[in-house]
Amino acid sequence: MKIGICGIGGRMGEAILRIMTDSSHTLTAAFDSEISPMLNKNARNVVDRQGADCIIEKINAKALSETEVIIDFSAPVATMELLKSAVESGTAVVIGTTGLTDVQREEVSRAASSIPVLFSPNMSLGVNLLFKLTEIASKALSTEYDPEIFEAHHRLKKDSPSGTAVKLIEIVRDNLKGLDNPEIVHGREGIVGERTSNEIGVHAMRGGSIIGDHTVFFTGINDRIELTHRAQNRDVFAAGAVKAAEFLAGKEPGLYSMYDVLGF
């Protein structure tokens, strides 16, 4: 396949380029920010592999003309700019950028009316299985079990809670019987009173080089259910993103998710 990467100068960009070229895909578009030291350099400076021979540019539609799917792990503002260029060129987009606002998510949905878009806060196949298991557990349980979500990431992560945690909150909120527009409680400090049955607790840890840990707790009076995923390295997200790009090639316009890749 002919695949592009937006945010190629970042850690995820490097991992995606390495994995996609190992799978015999070719890099045909490489984008990074206007202030990136990699701008106008060959992507082989990122990963010196056959198939990575492409000049790194600012986002533009012309560079997408030969690209089947572009994988985006950049920043929300860059993602919005990329969507405009992708719609202009008719290029499918895999979006793994986190921290999008509700308005920006609406832009993603609008773009999907013109081109295939796969949007997921986490490209890991294992995390998306966690999403499904959380949905199953939430539908089976009620507010007799108190839901709490914990996430841990490296010290450089800018958004909190993580996009994955936000998705887990949405799944619990929409499926746990007895919740009614629940309060989302981010940590607890001071005399906060007893926990209510109509809230979801969320806790974020930042430190060191943690790639990504997520646990959903359903805590009852007599037992506790824990659903956990721990990423051991960044390749798990990059490999999922490449699988998403392979899935999206040739698809009709629409908004897809990793559930579609997994066949749920």
List, for residues 38-90, the tens digit of each pLDDT value: 999 999 999 999 999 999 999 999 999 999 999 999 999 999 999 999 999 99
Q: Please report the pLDDT score of residue 121 as a whole number.
A: 78
**pLDDT level of residue 264 (50, 70, 90 thresholds):** confident
How many CB atoms are closer than 10 A to CB 229?
A: 20
Query: Does the pLDDT value for residue 122 go beyond 90?
Result: no
Q: What is the rounded CA–CA span in Å between residue 256 and residue 33?
A: 26
Q: Please report the pLDDT score of residue 167 as a whole number.
A: 92
Q: What is the rounded CA–CA span in Å between residue 174 and residue 84?
A: 31
Residues annotated as part of the active site: 153, 157
Query: Does the pLDDT value for residue 108 go beyond 90?
Result: yes
Q: What is the rounded CA–CA span in Å between residue 168 and residue 173?
A: 8
Q: What is the pLDDT of residues 3-14, one digit of tens each?
A: 999 999 998 999
Q: Is the whole model's pTM more than 0.85, yes or no?
A: no
Q: What percent of the chain has pLDDT over 90?
A: 95
Q: Could you give the strand order of the β-sheet that contains 212-219, starting from the edge strand earlier in sequence?
A: 183-186, 199-206, 146-153, 212-219, 224-231
More confident position, 94 or 98: 94
Query: Does the pLDDT value for residue 255 go beyond 90?
Result: yes
Q: Please report the pLDDT score of residue 175 as a whole number.
A: 98
Among 54, 24, 3, 63, smallest CA distance to 247 is for 3
What's the token pair of residue 112?
């999907």
Q: Determine the average pLDDT of the residues in 115-144.
A: 95
More confident position, 121 or 93: 93
Q: Determine the average pLDDT of the residues in 132-136.
A: 97
Instruction: Report the mean per-residue pLDDT for the chain.
Output: 96
Q: Determine the average pLDDT of the residues in 27-32.
A: 98
Q: Please report the pLDDT score of residue 20 as a whole number.
A: 97
Q: Please report the pLDDT score of residue 35 as a whole number.
A: 92
Q: Please report the pLDDT score of residue 201 as a whole number.
A: 98
Cα three-residue angle 118-124-126, rounded to 5 degrees: 125
Q: Please report the pLDDT score of residue 3 as a whole number.
A: 98
Please tell me whether residue 179 adopts helix, strand or coil conformation: coil
**Segment 259-264 long-range contacts (CB within 8 Å, at least 24 positions apart):** 259/128, 259/131, 259/132, 260/118, 261/118, 261/125, 261/128, 262/125, 262/128, 262/129, 262/132, 264/132
Query: Does the pLDDT value for residue 163 go beyond 90?
Result: no
Q: Determine the average pLDDT of the residues in 191-209.
A: 97
Q: Which domains does the chain have, with CATH numbers?
A: 2-119+234-262 (3.40.50.720), 125-231 (3.30.360.10)
Q: Are 117 and 84 in contact (CB under 8 A)?
A: no
Query: Does the pLDDT value for residue 24 go beyond 90?
Result: yes
Residue 199 bridge partners (DSSP): 183
Query: Does the pLDDT value for residue 234 go beyond 90?
Result: no
